[in-house]
C-alpha cells in the first residue's frame, strides 16, 4: 500500500481493497476524516478510469487559467511556441506590472504535471521572471492559445503494459542566447506510459555538442536509477536492463569506450557513472534517429508538423474530445 499525504489531503493506493479498508478504519479511530471514495479529483488533477486504463488531466485548472486571463474565447494555436522565436532578457520593453506575468508562469508550471507538451516553453519563459518583457508575455499568451485548442488533454496509462523502463535523452547545444548554456531534456517511459520528463538549462557551459549530449545522458541515467529503486519499493520486478536512447553516436561511443583522452577528461565523472551502470547490466544504450527522438519536444521549439508527430507518440488522451 502507498500513502500520499499533502497537508490535509490523503491518497491511498493498493492492490488489496481489504488493506485500504482496514487502514482507513484505523485512521478514523485517531482522526476525523472524510472518505471521498475512488479518486476522481486530487490537488487539481482529474482522474478518469476505464477498462482500458487510467487518464490524468487538469482540464478544470486549465479552463480557470484561460478564464482568469481572458483567453477563454481566444483563437486556438496548434503548437505552443514558434520555432523561429529567440527570446532574450534584453530585447523588448519591460512590463509595467510583472506580477501578472509571474503569476501566470507559476500557474503554467503547475500545469506541466500532466502537460509535458508545454514543459519546454514554460521552462524558457520561467527564466525571465525577474524582469519580464513584452516578447516574453506574448510568448506566454501563445501557450494559452495552444491550451485553448485542447484544454482536456492529459496522460493515459493503459492497463496492459510490458513494464520496460526506457529513457530518451537529448540536448540543445548553446540553446540559451544570453548565457550560451545548453538545454538538457529527457523523458522516461514505463512500457508505453510517460512517467517522468524534464527540461532544464545546464548548470555549466558545454564546449561541444557531444559534451552537452553526454551531460544529458548522465542526468537521464540518474533518473533511471532512481526509478528502478522506486519500482523495487513498489515490488514491481524489472529484471531486464533499462534502455537509454540517444541520437548522438559520438556520445554513445564515449559511453562504450573505456579509454579516456583529453577531449573527455572534463566530463570524466559522467563517463564513469554511465559506464559503470552499463557494465553492471543496469542500463543498455541504444541509438535512435533524430526524427524519432521524442526528447526534442523538451529541448527546442518545433514546427507544427514535427511537434504533432512527436506528441502523438507520448500516449496523450483527451477524454473530453468528440
Mapped onto helix, strand or coil, the DSSP state of residue 160 is coil
**Could you tell me the residue range of the domain that residue 263 belongs to?**
161-288
Same domain, 145 and 196: no
Cell of 183: 538545454
Does residue 80 fall inside a structural domain?
A: yes
Q: CA angle, 133 as apex, 129 and 138 as ends, to 5°?
A: 100
Does residue 317 fall inside a structural domain?
A: no
Mapped onto helix, strand or coil, the DSSP state of residue 187 is strand
pLDDT tens column, 181-211:
888 888 999 988 899 998 888 877 777 777 8
pLDDT, residue 292, reads 66
Does residue 168 fall inside a structural domain?
A: yes
Residue 54 has pLDDT above 50, yes or no: yes
Same domain, 63 and 132: yes
Burial class of residue 312 in the structure, from the number of CB atoms within 10 Å of its CB (0-12 exposed, 13-18 middle, 19+ buried): exposed
Give the C-alpha separation, 288 to 100, whole Å.
41
Does residue 321 fall inside a structural domain?
A: no
Does residue 103 fall inside a structural domain?
A: yes
pLDDT, residue 259, reads 58
Question: What's the half-sphere exposure (Cβ side, CA atoms, 13 Å) at 141?
Answer: 13
Does residue 147 fall inside a structural domain?
A: yes
| Average pLDDT of span 283-297 | 76
* Domain end point (choices 101, 121, 153): 153
Which DSSP helix (H) or strand (E) runs through 19? helix 17-30
Same domain, 76 and 24: no
Average pLDDT value for the chain = 85
Torsion, Cα of 294, 296, 302, 305 (10° steps): -20
Does residue 170 fall inside a structural domain?
A: yes
- Considering only residues 67 and 258, tell me which one the structure prediction assigns the higher pLDDT: 67
pLDDT tens column, 70-117:
999 889 999 999 888 888 888 889 999 899 999 999 999 999 999 999
Q: Which residues contact 212 (CB under 8 A, 6 or more apart)?
A: 171, 172, 173, 182, 184, 202, 206
Cell of 80: 505552443
Residue from 220, 214, 226 nearest 243 by CA: 220
Looking at the 3D structure of the chain, how many domains does it have?
A: 3
pLDDT, residue 262, reads 44
Same domain, 111 and 212: no
Cell of 269: 565523472
Could you tell me what percentage of the chain is helix, strand and coil, using 3-state DSSP and rounding each to the nearest 5?
Answer: 40, 20, 35
DSSP 31: S
Same domain, 132 and 222: no
Buried b / exposed e over 174-203, threshold 16 CB at 10 Å, is: ebbeeeebbbbbbbbbbbbbbebbbbbbbe
Q: What percent of the chain has pLDDT over 90?
A: 33
| Average pLDDT of span 238-251 | 84
Cell of 228: 528502478
pTM: 0.85
Q: How many CB atoms lie within 10 A of CB 311?
A: 18
Does residue 277 fall inside a structural domain?
A: yes
Amino acid at each position: 500500500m502507498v500513502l500520499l499525504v499533502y497537508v490535509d489531503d490523503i491518497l491511498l493506493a493498493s492492490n488489496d481493497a481489504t488493506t485500504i479498508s482496514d487502514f482507513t478504519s484505523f485512521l478514523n479511530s485517531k482522526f476525523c476524516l472524510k472518505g471521498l471514495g475512488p479518486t476522481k479529483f486530487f490537488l487539481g488533477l482529474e482522474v478518469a478510469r476505464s477498462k482500458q486504463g487510467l487518464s490524468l488531466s487538469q482540464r478544470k485548472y486549465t479552463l480557470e487559467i484561460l478564464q482568469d486571463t481572458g483567453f477563454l474565447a481566444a483563437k486556438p494555436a496548434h503548437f505552443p511556441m514558434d520555432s523561429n522565436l529567440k527570446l532574450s532578457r534584453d530585447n523588448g520593453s519591460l512590463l509595467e506590472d510583472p506580477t501578472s506575468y509571474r503569476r501566470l508562469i507559476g500557474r503554467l508550471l503547475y500545469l506541466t504535471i500532466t502537460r509535458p507538451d508545454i514543459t519546454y516553453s514554460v521552462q524558457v519563459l520561467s527564466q525571465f521572471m525577474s524582469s519580464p518583457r513584452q516578447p516574453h508575455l506574448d510568448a506566454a499568451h501563445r501557450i494559452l492559445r495552444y491550451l485553448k485548442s485542447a484544454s482536456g488533454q492529459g496522460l493515459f496509462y493503459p492497463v496492459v503494459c510490458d513494464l520496460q523502463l526506457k529513457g530518451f535523452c537529448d540536448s540543445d547545444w548553446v540553446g540559451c542566447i544570453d548565457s550560451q548554456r545548453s538545454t538538457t531534456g529527457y523523458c522516461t517511459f514505463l512500457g508505453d506510459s510517460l512517467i517522468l520528463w524534464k527540461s532544464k538549462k545546464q548548470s555549466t557551459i558545454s564546449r561541444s555538442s557531444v559534451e552537452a549530449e553526454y551531460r544529458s545522458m548522465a542526468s537521464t541515467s540518474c533518473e533511471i536509477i532512481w526509478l528502478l529503486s522506486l519500482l523495487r519499493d513498489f515490488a514491481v520486478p524489472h529484471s531486464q536492463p533499462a534502455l537509454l536512447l540517444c541520437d548522438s553516436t559520438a556520445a554513445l561511443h564515449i559511453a562504450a569506450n573505456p579509454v579516456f583522452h583529453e577531449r573527455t577528461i572534463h566530463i570524466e565523472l559522467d563517463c564513469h557513472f554511465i559506464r559503470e551502470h552499463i557494465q553492471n547490466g543496469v542500463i543498455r544504450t541504444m541509438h535512435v534517429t533524430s526524427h524519432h527522438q521524442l526528447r526534442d519536444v523538451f529541448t527546442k521549439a518545433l514546427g507544427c508538423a514535427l511537434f504533432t508527430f512527436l506528441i502523438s507518440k507520448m500516449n496523450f488522451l483527451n477524454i473530453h474530445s468528440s
